[in-house]
Structure 1
Amino acid sequence: MTSVIVVFSRANENYEVGYVTEGNTAKVADVIAAATVAPIIEILPAEPYPTTYDGTVERVKREMEDGVEAAIAIRMHAGNDADASASADAAFAEADTVYLGYPIWCGVPPLEVDTFLRGHDWTGKTILPFITHGGSGFKETPEHIAALTGADVRPGLAVTGVVAQRDPEAVRRAVDGWLGA
């Protein structure tokens, strides 16, 4: 069984945690990567978000209202200097298990996650979602992901942003429990 971690995360000012150099969801992805040795494919917005939380919320709401399909860039974290997009494409194509990480924004995954989901073939893949949130939990995002991909979406892991940033041991325990380690 081959796996890959696909994650969207945002640094800078985050809800309830202030300014951070690594986003909440990225912190959880790092723990999953350490436990699974899976490479990380990072989804990035083609146009960076504002550094402030309020500025990001304003943009997200506007883009959601306008029905924007977010442009994305991809960065591979696999410890090599090969062409990042080719390496990400190969890692994704080989994987049968995808750990999909994203924050909950306005009750849904970021638009960049939807762009990634629509742009890939999910045939035969199992998705294990993991999220960070400020108290909302998953909402209907697993059903949303299943509808976009047709993949087998399994029960996920939800971690609050505060825990992701401030309690690495709790994140490790939660990941270990979720993975059955």
Structure 2
Amino acid sequence: MEHNMKAKKTLVAFFSRAGENYAVGNIAEGNTRIIADMIVDETGGDIFQITPETPYPEDYAQCTEVAKRELAAKARPAVKGDAAVEDYDTIFIGYPNWWGDLPMPVYTLIEKHRWQGKTVIPFCTHEGSGLSGTEHKLKTACQGATLLKGIALRGATAQNERARAKESINEWLSKL
């Protein structure tokens, strides 16, 4: 896979949140960010962080309240900048699994672009829910894309057992 991925234009687009997080406490670097960096290291892809214009609260409980309201409303919060998805062949999309769905800012990015002919590969961090329904939601949102098998890693593993996380990522990438 290594040569194949490097020959194609690869983008790693992700949403990640630092601050107070479930199971890992107050973190300086988001769990999904750690995994995104590992994927970039292996693929040589470009990286784009999906950052909402209005940041989520640092406090975990407050953040979940805002995120739950956005999910219920199917909100599309404004994000800073954009990634030229159309210029890439393969797009990894990373996110924390929030109640069996992607954080709403990820949809903001997805809905700005055409996905026809693209290869989309999901990766998520979680604390027990895995990818749950997110792969299906991504396939629906990225119409016309080919979705490859994603990976789900516990945020606590990404944060506190990085060598083990990197081993899992490399093994997964080698099978794509």
TM-score of the superposed pair, with normalisation by structure 1 = 0.89
Q: Does 1:96 align with 2:89?
A: yes
Q: 1:123 aligns with which of 108, 112, 116?
A: 116
Q: 2:44 aligns with which of 37, 40, 44?
A: 37
One-letter code aligned to 2:170: D
Q: Which runs of 5+ in 2 are unaligned?
A: 1-7
1:54 matched residue in structure 2: 61
- SS at structure 2 position matched to 1:22: coil
Residue 58 of structure 1: how far off its partner (Å): 0.6
Q: Does 1:73 align with 2:80?
A: yes
Identity of aligned residues (%): 37
Q: Deviations over 1:87-111 (max 9, x none)?
A: x32xx22211111100001110000
Q: Does 1:17 align with 2:24?
A: yes
TM-score of the superposed pair, with normalisation by structure 2 = 0.91
Matches within 5 A, 1:139-178: 139-150=132-143, 151-178=145-172
Greater fraction strand: 1
User: 4+ residue runs of structure 1 moved beyond 3 angstroms?
Assistant: none
Q: Deviations over 1:34-64 (max 9, x none)?
A: 1111110110011000001101001111222
Provide the alpha-carbon RMSD of the alignment.
Answer: 1.2
2:5 matched residue in structure 1: none
- SS at structure 1 position matched to 2:131: coil
Q: Deviations over 1:109-154 (max 9, x none)?
A: 0000111111111111011100000100111111111111121111
Q: Which runs of 5+ in 1 are unaligned?
A: 75-84
One-letter code aligned to 2:13: V
